[in-house]
Amino acid sequence: MTTQTRERSALAGRQPPAALPGAQRVKGWIYREGSAYAFLSMYGLAFIVFIVLPVLAAFGLSFTFFDTIQAPIFTGLKNYIVLLTQDDIFMRYVLPNTIQFAVIVGPGGYVLAFMLAWMLAQLPKMPRTVLALILYSPSMTTGVAMTVVWKTIFSGDQNGYLNSFLLGLSLIQEPVQWLTSPQYLMAIMILVTLWSSMGVGFLAMLAGILEINPELYEAGSLDGISNRFQEIIHITIPSMRPQMLFGAVMAIVGTFQAGAIGVTLSGGNPTPQYAGQLIVNHIEDFGFLRYEMGYAAAVSVVLLLMVLGFSRLANRLFASEE
């Protein structure tokens, strides 16, 4: 807005009938919608600065060469072409690892969360609350606090709890280097992530199951639904599609967000022989260890697109039939 129009609208404030149409429109807009935007402003500002701008910046930087010292140099699609054709580590380890991890932890954790929520819903309030709390509590720990636990349990010497236990049973002859052996790291990462995956989505699904009108089940049994499995497929899931979708989105985001776990467990990036290397670690490797920010940004864009793609898929599955 120029100074002139601002003066005009100030004038308009004092003498409404004499105001110019443009200023009046602005004033009318402020009167009608101004307070809504005022209420939105704080969130909107934080949202733009810390969510929208980083995504746009990642997109923009992905077309450049940028080493943080000199200004970014536009290189077109080079980063993406290199990623798809020359990045051996990405194609041989990172992408297969990410897909393996995401497929098991994502849908696996999601189905597990639904089944646990469904079983909990069959119990009276008191035990249900206690058990739900126990299942939810690992998701409150988020990595940091539990590192010491996992490191002690999977410790590579004979003092490690798992080694000691298996040695005691004579199942193994000598201590196993659980966290630094490429063949075990991925399995442990998946186990640990599943352990902590009963989060907000799980609670939403539990609440969703409990909200379903009991009369639907009675009607269902009159319509010939004879077992609990049919009941789940034909009544429970269709009646709680919105919660199922919310849970699915949370599961997808949680899966990709959990990617740092391999580095935490094995104690270094890159992980031993890239066994636990996920896309997230690849971004960090190039961005903060090699300072190839443009290339790292291209990998970020690929990751965001993967999340979006999976969420679209979930949307297809559970969108309300309207």
Partner 1 sequence: MATLRSRLFKVNIRNSGINPQGFHPSQIKFYLILAPLVVFMLLPMVFIFSHAFKPPDELFAYPPRFFVVNPTFKNFTDLFAKMSTSGVPVSRYLFNSVLVTVVTVGASILVSTTAAYALSKKRFKLKSTLFAINTVALMFVPIAVTIPRFLIIERLDLLNNFWVHILPGLAMPVGLFLIKQFIDGVPDEVVEAAQIDGATDVQIYWGIILPMILPAVATIAILTFQATWNNAETSTLYVNNESLKTFAFYVTTLTATAATTGANTVAGQGVAAAASLIMFLPNLVIFVLLQSQVMSTMSHSGLK
Question: Encoding tokens for residue 105?
Answer: 């932890």
Nearer to partner 1, 8 or 104 (CB): 104
Give Cβ neighbours of residue 174 (< 8 Å, ≥ 6 apart).
Answer: 167
Q: How far is the CB of 277 from partner 1 (least distance, A)?
A: 14
Nearer to partner 1, 8 or 79 (CB): 79
The C-alpha atoms of residue 147 and residue 228 are separated, in whole angstroms, by 40
Nearer to partner 1, 93 or 202 (CB): 202
Considering all CA atoms of the chain, what is the largest pairwise distance in Å, rounded to the nearest integer? Answer: 95
Nearer to partner 1, 186 or 251 (CB): 251
Nearer to partner 1, 186 or 209 (CB): 209
Under a CB-based contact definition with an 8 Å cutoff, are residues 178 and 158 in contact? no
Q: How far is the CB of 258 from partner 1 (least distance, A)?
A: 9
Q: How far is the CB of 275 from partner 1 (least distance, A)?
A: 17
Nearer to partner 1, 11 or 212 (CB): 212
Give Cβ neighbours of residue 315 (< 8 Å, ≥ 6 apart).
Answer: 245
Question: Encoding tokens for residue 95?
Answer: 């992408």
Type of residue found at 238: P
Q: How far is the CB of 7 from partner 1 (least distance, A)?
A: 26
Nearer to partner 1, 7 or 35 (CB): 35
Q: How far is the CB of 171 from partner 1 (least distance, A)?
A: 14
The C-alpha atoms of residue 24 and residue 137 are separated, in whole angstroms, by 56
Nearer to partner 1, 51 or 111 (CB): 51
Q: How far is the CB of 12 from partner 1 (least distance, A)?
A: 21
Cα distances from 239 to residues 18, 198, 213, in angstroms, run 58, 21, 9
User: Residue 15 — φ and ψ, nearest 5°?
Assistant: -125, 80
Other Cβ atoms less than 10 A from the Cβ of 62: the count is 24
Q: How far is the CB of 313 from partner 1 (least distance, A)?
A: 12
Output b/e per residue, 276-297; b: 16+ Cβ within 10 A.
Answer: bbbbbbbbbbbbeeeebbbbbb
Q: How far is the CB of 25 from partner 1 (least distance, A)?
A: 13
Under a CB-based contact definition with an 8 Å cutoff, are residues 308 and 302 in contact? no
Output b/e per residue, 112-140; b: 16+ Cβ within 10 A.
Answer: bbbebbbebbeeeeeebeeebeebbebbe
